[in-house]
Amino acid sequence: MDNFKHKERALLIGTNNENRMDWETKDSLEELSRLTETAGARVETTIVQELKKVDASLFIGRGKVGEVKDYVSSHDIDVVIFDDELTPTQQRNLEESFNTKTIDRTGLILDVFAQRAKSKEGKLQVELAQLTYTLPRLKGKGFILSRLGGGIGTRGPGETQLEVDRRKIKERITRLKREIEKVRRVRELHRQGRRSFSRSSIALVGYTNAGKSTLLNYLSHTGVLVENRLFSTLDPKIGIISLPNNQDVFISDTVGFINKLPHQLIAAFKATFEEAKESDILLHVIDISSPHFEAHITAVNRTLEEIGMPQKIIIHVLNKIDSVPHERMISAWARKLENGVAISASTGEGVDALLNMIEGFISSSMQRVKLKIPFDAGKTISHILRNGNIITKKYIDTGVIIEAEVNKAMVGSLKPYIQ
């Protein structure tokens, strides 16, 4: 729970250099502003520094530090937030120079995750990420420990946890890793249980706020809370959807990706990302109504590489077409992106085409078999109906002869009945 009564006043700082386009800096700062508001603060102003060379001790130039210091003092700024990652030394020196709390983009994203984590698993993963980030910053008298009054950058592990020394934090990190490993093993057992149904699995990935939860709700009626806020879903949900041929498949959600997703979070959420890595098909959900959707696609692809996503079928789902007036643009991108399909998860438009595409890919991984199943093995027929496609069925005195398409993973369990 936040222990401050008013909204913190934030000053944002971004940088420009010769390797970065002006629009990239502008877009990144707009996103930083949304993250700041999501964390519960109010953005007072934004400053952009033209930076030819990073200052090893202060990141930005000393003249700009003086300018920011004066603004902080005259406008009662509570927190200064940098759009770039600061080293522990830079963060410490800047905080001392500004005489106010100073954090970077990574610290801000971790704070938002700390607010969003609801399940035990989510809280464990966020705490691990925050302590990994905090550990190298616990140097210097009073640094970080001086800003435990509440607000952005102080949520998550809790005030008392941040007061312990480095040795105890290292011990806590070790315990958290053991707990998360237990979570990973439990998740793997659940996946094995789902595999016993021989159903294919689909995972949703995409930039934060792309509409994954809305699509998951529409397809599987899981009742996931849908909010128009960054990182509204941290805890992955798993549901079942029925394809047009009545075949059931598992579908799971993942945490939203974002530009410059902190590596601490990627490492801590390894168990969660495994749901996507073990899936048969990825649905990359894209908010086509966002003016920055191309940058979002790039950020998601970069993160998929970073988490070691194996080669698999990816369907690019262009979502929120009900908010885009230019149909030609939508059609052009649906053709440009591999396996592109345009939908509106909120209205259902285009979802049938998406389901047909999923069915087509899953059918390509199916094997046709001819089976003779005795009447006392009725559960096997029901199993095929749920997870495959019966083409012909003929009753005989001793049972039923079926020709069906089934998932290749299911063929082994049907060997006693194969003709």
CATH number of the CATH domain containing 350? 3.40.50.300
Query: What average pLDDT does this structure show over 256-276?
Result: 82
347/383 same-domain check: no
**Dist. CA 223–CA 233, nearest whole Å:** 12
16, 146: one domain: yes
* Structure confidence by residue, pLDDT tens digits, 126-142: 899 999 898 888 764 34
Which residues are registered as beta bridge partners of 257?
Answer: 207
pLDDT at site 2: 46
CATH number at residue 39: 3.40.50.11060
Domain identity same for 217 and 350: yes
258 and 203 in one domain?
yes
Residue type, 190: H
CA 99 to CA 101: how far, in whole Å? 7
Q: Indicate whether 229 pLDDT > 70.
A: no
Q: Classify 120 in phi/psi space as left (phi over 0), alpha (psi -120 to 50) or beta.
A: alpha
Residue after which a domain boundary falls, among 362, 382, 401: 362
Three-class DSSP category at 387: helix
DSSP letter at 256 equals P
Helix (H) or strand (E) holding 416: none
Amino acid identity for residue 303 in this structure: T
What angle is formed at CA 45 by the lines to CA 41 and CA 48, rounded to 5 degrees? 120
Q: Based on the fold, state whether residues 395 and 354 are members of the same structural domain.
A: no
Q: What's the first-to-final CA gap in the chain, in angstroms? A: 64
Name the residue with higher pLDDT: 285 or 183.
285
- Is 31 within a domain? yes
Judged by average pLDDT, the poorest of 124-138, 151-165, 186-200, 260-274 is 151-165
87 vs 409: which has the higher pLDDT: 87
Provide the pLDDT confidence category of residue 167 given band limits of 50, 70 and 90: confident
Do 225 and 100 share a structural domain? no
Sheet (strand 340-342) strand order:
238-242, 248-252, 201-206, 281-287, 313-319, 340-342
Q: For residue 391, is it within any domain?
A: yes
What is the torsion angle, in degrees rounded to the nearest 10, for the CA atoms of residue 338, residue 275, residue 267 and residue 186?
A: -170
The answer to whether residues 278 and 373 belong to one domain is no
Least confident range from 22-36, 153-167, 275-289: namely 153-167
Give exposure, 8-41, as e/b (b: 16+ Cβ within 10 Å): bbbbbbbbbeeeeeeeebebbbebbbbbbebbbb
Number of domains within the chain: 3
- Cα 396 to Cα 69, 393, 417, distances in angstroms: 88, 10, 14
Q: What is the pLDDT of residue 115?
A: 85
> How many contiguous H segments (helices) and E segments (strands) does the chain have?
14, 13
Q: Mean pLDDT throughout 346-369?
A: 89
Domain around 54: 8-118+136-154
